[in-house]
Amino acid sequence: MHNLPVDFTVYLPDGLGERAKAELERGVLSRLLRDAVQGELERRDAVSNTLAPDEIKEHLLDFLDDDDNVTTGRLRGVQITEENNRGESVFLTEDERVILYDSERLAYWEVDDPENELEDRLPQGDYARVMHALGIKPIIDI
């Protein structure tokens, strides 16, 4: 099987474009792009596998609203981790948002940067499970 080149145009902002030109001159831009595309496709595959249609369920989560009333929130997605000893569990919603739910404090948060925000918050096994479900290779201190 032969690899056939694919020709396309990519827009890069000025600063990034200048750096890319330098890498092109060094002959490594193609490799950088190939690795980035491959990594993103693998990440998307992992998320798609996590969100397999037969895995998605409706989850009802109690939380305190702004007036300290207990309210039930509904999300559709996959529970990635079971509740840990601090009452926390992690969900991946159908629209690929990561939700950290705390059943003891009756609160939830949308996690923007799971790799950094959850590293010190979850037990190692749960952290690794979440990262794999999101297609991110976890880095664990040993």
Which residue segment(s) compose the domain that 18 sits in? 14-50
Report if residue 70 sits inside a domain.
Answer: yes
Q: How many domains would you assign to the chain?
A: 2
Q: What gap in Å lies between CA 36 and CA 102, rounded to an integer?
A: 34
pLDDT, one tens digit per residue, over 112-139 is 999 999 999 999 999 999 999 999 999 9
Report if residue 138 sits inside a domain.
Answer: no
Q: What gap in Å lies between CA 71 and CA 85, rounded to an integer?
A: 23
Claim to verify: residue 70 and residue 41 sit in the same structural domain: no
Report if residue 82 sits inside a domain.
Answer: yes
pLDDT, one tens digit per residue, over 28-37 is 788 888 888 8
pLDDT, one tens digit per residue, over 31-88 is 888 888 899 999 999 999 999 999 999 999 999 999 999 999 999 999 999 999 899 9
Claim to verify: residue 19 and residue 74 sit in the same structural domain: no
Claim to verify: residue 66 and residue 129 sit in the same structural domain: yes
Report the predicted TM-score, pTM, of the whole model to 2 decimal places: 0.82
Claim to verify: residue 33 and residue 73 sit in the same structural domain: no
Report if residue 64 sits inside a domain.
Answer: yes
Maximum separation of any 2 CA atoms in the chain, in Å: 64
